[in-house]
Amino acid sequence: MVKMRSNFFNENGIFRPGKVSITKFSEGVFLESEDSITAEEPLEIMICSGKSKKCSRFAVTMRTPGEDEYLAAGLLYTEGIINSLSDFDTQKFRKIESNILEVWLSRISFELNGDRFFPSYSSCGLCGKTSIDQVFIKGARIQHSFNSVTPNLILSLPGKMHSSQKMFTETGGIHGAALFNEDGTMIATSEDVGRHNAVDKVIGKSLLEGNLEKCHILQISGRSGFEIVQKAAIAGIPVVSSVSAPSSLAVETAETFGITLICFVRENRFNIYTHKNRVSRI
């Protein structure tokens, strides 16, 4: 394993990048140097019942350490395990060591008779999900009353998100996600080595802080895959904007659930793939 030096959590509990020794080749010359890299470590999420006092392993996800409670809350919400803040027990979270997190719930729709385990990886979210039928089962909360956004507002979002990406500035190797209201005010932002983790973190943060209903636009730093649009649908977010390309299933999911999917948001251009009526022509 590569030894990282000077890893630490800042006062907000965010994991800062570590330094590694590298050999750099530039303009025909080899140089011994250092580079900042993004941390990627496993997090085991346990679901615990406040009534039975039983716990069951729910998932292991590869993530950038920090904001683990937000990540767990967002994941449980977008997976349909919880529906609101009232589903949490008085003690919401308990950290067991650095990479094990217990989530305590007051209401659980299944018996904790064993592990409901699935692996989750930083590269793909919940790999293997190939049908939007699973989103139908969980339901979607799209805010159909949402009015419209201007082209200028959409074009401003990547820059606003990027200005809050401290780890990206240091490493260049991390994804970002941010939630905005319809006026373009940023409500929450997070970074993680995984696109889907960054999305779970901002959704979880907004849920725990009681701001999720104010969130109208999800901006992400990478491509728009199915798992990203799925999470937006379940969280009721009507607009998804990304700086890169969508997948075919992402477009299909957005079309089905009434999400305006906007991609390739760069400089003075973007492509609208679904529900273009939400973007004003003025």
pLDDT digits (tens, 9 = 90+) for 259-273: 999 999 988 889 999
Within-domain flag for 241: yes
Domain that holds residue 201: 151-278
Render pLDDT for 209-235 as a digit per residue (tens, 0 to 9). 999 999 999 999 988 888 899 899 999
Of 19, 58, 54, nearest to 39 by C-alpha is 19
Judge whether 58 is annotated as a binding position: no
**b (16+ CB within 10 A) / e for 151-178:** bebbbebbebbbeebebbeebeebbbbb
List the one residue out of 202, 264, 268 whose CA is nearest residue 235: 202
Q: Give me the pLDDT at residue 193, please.
A: 84
Domain assignment of residue 175, yes or no: yes
- Decide if 142 is inside a domain: no
Residue 264 maps to a domain: yes
Known binding residue 269? Answer is yes
* Domain assignment of residue 213, yes or no: yes
Instruction: Answer yes or no: 124 catalytic.
Output: yes
pTM of the model: 0.82
268 a known binding residue? yes
- Position 1 scores a pLDDT of 39
Counted domains in the chain: 1
Q: Among residues 115, 117, 105, which one has the least CA distance to residue 52?
A: 105
10 is in an annotated binding site: no
At 129 the pLDDT is 45
How far apart CA 60 and CA 80 sit, in angstroms, is: 17
Query: Does residue 74 belong to any structural domain of this protein?
Result: no
> Within the chain, how many helices (H) and strands (E) appear?
7, 13
Catalytic one among 48, 55, 124, 215? 124
68 occurs within a structural domain:
no
**CATH value at residue 274:** 3.40.140.10
Q: For the segment 140-190, what is each residue's pLDDT rounded down to a tens digit?
A: 677 666 778 999 999 999 999 988 877 766 666 688 999 999 999 999 999
Tell whether 187 is covered by a domain. yes
